[in-house]
Amino acid sequence: MVSNAPVTGVDPEALSEKKRDDAQNNIDSDDSSTRIEPVPVYAPNNEEKDGSEEINYHTLTWWQAGVVLIAETVSLGILSLPAVVATLGLAPGMVVMVFMGLLATYSGLVMGEFRKQYPWVQSFGDAGEVMGRSIGMGKFFQELFGWAQTIFQIFVMGSHLLTWTICLNTLSNSAACTIVWGVVGLAIFWALNTPRTLRAAGFYSFASFASIFTAVMVTMIDVGIEKPIGSTSIEAARAIPFTSAFLAVTNIGVAFSGHSCFFSVMSEFKEPNDWPKALMLLQVCDTVLYIVVSVVIYIYVGPDVPSPALSAAGSAVVRKVIWGIAIPTIVIAGVIYGHVAAKYIFVRVFSGTKHVVKRTTVGWLGWLGITAAIWIIAWIIAQSIPVFSNLLGLVCALFASWFSYGIPGSLWLWMHYGHWFESPKRIVQFSLNALLMLVGLTLCALGLWCSGEAIAHDSGTEPWTCKSNAA
């Protein structure tokens, strides 16, 4: 199938005049053998050197990218999973977790296949532009997918700010107004989002993963000491209202919702073909960790396990220690989402200019302004939806349902249109991608209804209040 490359992803300075003319002429050509692929606006080929004005965005090895993805994905989602197992029951919780994990792995491979075929794609907005051009709606789909991705990431940033306030209230015995803690977090998160690339994230993501891993391990050890096995009521399955059950499923969806950052991380690979290795590193680590942590904490704590699960520790002192350990992952994972959201907006604003690939005053001020604006919006979201599980459920229903499942399925169906049933292998792939789209649609439609009902009936925490939200 022949598809045309988006003009918006071309840096006029990166192509010679002849190549630029040839690329423009080939945009409407059906001859894929002579088509010149455009050079992404932020992909200089030279290595970045100290004092250089140019920015090298290709700095990640596959293992660094895998660690970045683990830090970004295994963060807040894992904190809701023990409560999910308590809601659904042990057997259904594990089955749904494994099922969603396998689907998320496959959809990530589909995204890698798509970007290998269209290597200028840097975001879901670019992917939407590629698909939409075939029906004359490239610009519309670019705007729809691109801004939806950005809005989703801002909502996730809001959930990190909300978790930050819970953490600070727990550590300080609610010594300050919750809104004040939110403002403090806003300043810290924004300051850490000032670097323009993910190069540093490849290293400090180790601290993020070590943080959440240590925090949940200490939690498991503590609940194991405080609550011996057999002292609580463990249910293999439960009969619960549909709203509660499906809201629990959406929380599992959030735990596997790193896909909105996948294209952006792929674009910073040194070797793009290494994507499957980074994806496998992510999916093996997060699935195993999710199952072990959620099952162990549920078995020891029982049906009343809180969300976030770090508050399940028995004593106030241990809870403070655990939340203190978790601070790096709360901050770093939120900063990674902030980087990807800001990068999309920045490239859209300065596309085709020197400010994207060079260090300029205008580019620097633009980056600072964009990152500040999105963190202020995230702070408003955190103050408006102050219940952790409800916010995660809403985020999954609105966005993760599509970015992790629905849209990757549509990418495969678009790439192989007309060849869906030409072989047994293709029939299986068609079935899997149709299932991805069905799962995405179901999570969106039913998840919105369940999340809206939960938010409307939850009277436990008020929005825009100084009251403590410590669990």
**Region of residue 312 (left: phi > 0; alpha: psi -120 to 50; beta: else):** alpha
Q: How far apart are CA 130 and CA 439, in angstroms?
A: 23
Q: How far apart are CA 128 and CA 241, in angstroms?
A: 37
- Average pLDDT of the chain to the nearest whole number: 82
pLDDT of residue 53: 60
pLDDT of residue 442: 93
Residue type, 387: V
Q: How far apart are CA 251 and CA 181, in angstroms?
A: 25
| Helices 77-88 and 275-301, packing angle to 10 deg | 50
**Taking Cα atoms as reference points, which of 430, 435, 432 lies closest to residue 414?**
430
Note the helical H segments in 302-404: 316-350, 354-357, 361-384, 388-395
Which residues lie across from 358 on neighbouring strands? 54
Q: How far apart are CA 190 and CA 208, in angstroms?
A: 17
Q: Identify the band that residue 460 occupies on the pLDDT scale cut at 50, 70 and 90.
A: low
pLDDT of residue 459: 58
| 60: DSSP letter | B
Question: Which one is predicted more confidently, 334 or 26?
Answer: 334
- pTM for the full model? 0.79
Q: How far apart are CA 409 and CA 426, in angstroms?
A: 13
Residue 59 has pLDDT above 60, yes or no: yes
Half-sphere exposure of 445 (CA within 13 A, CB side): 7
Q: Report the residue count for the chain.
A: 471
pLDDT of residue 400: 86
Residue 237 has pLDDT above 70, yes or no: no
Q: What is the pLDDT of residues 127-152, one digit of tens each?
A: 999 999 988 999 999 999 999 989 98
Q: Which tokens go with 147? A: 């801004």
Three-class secondary structure of residue 31 per DSSP: coil
Q: Which residues of 89-108 are buried (b: 16+ CB within 10 A; e: fewer)?
A: bbebbbebbeebbebbbbbb
Domain with CATH 1.20.1740.10 in the chain: 56-457
Cβ atoms of 154 and 378 closer than 8 Å: yes
Most confident range (mean pLDDT) of 52-56, 72-76, 213-217, 237-241 is 213-217
Q: Which tokens go with 98? A: 């494994």
Q: How far apart are CA 314 and CA 102, in angstroms?
A: 34
Q: What is the pLDDT of residues 153-191, one digit of tens each?
A: 898 899 899 889 989 999 998 888 999 999 999 999 999
Q: Which residues of 19-41 are buried (b: 16+ CB within 10 A; e: fewer)?
A: ebeebeebeeeeeeeebbebbbb
Q: How far apart are CA 221 and CA 226, in angstroms?
A: 9
Which CATH number applies to 56-457: 3.40.50.10860, 3.40.50.300, 1.20.1740.10, 3.30.420.10? 1.20.1740.10
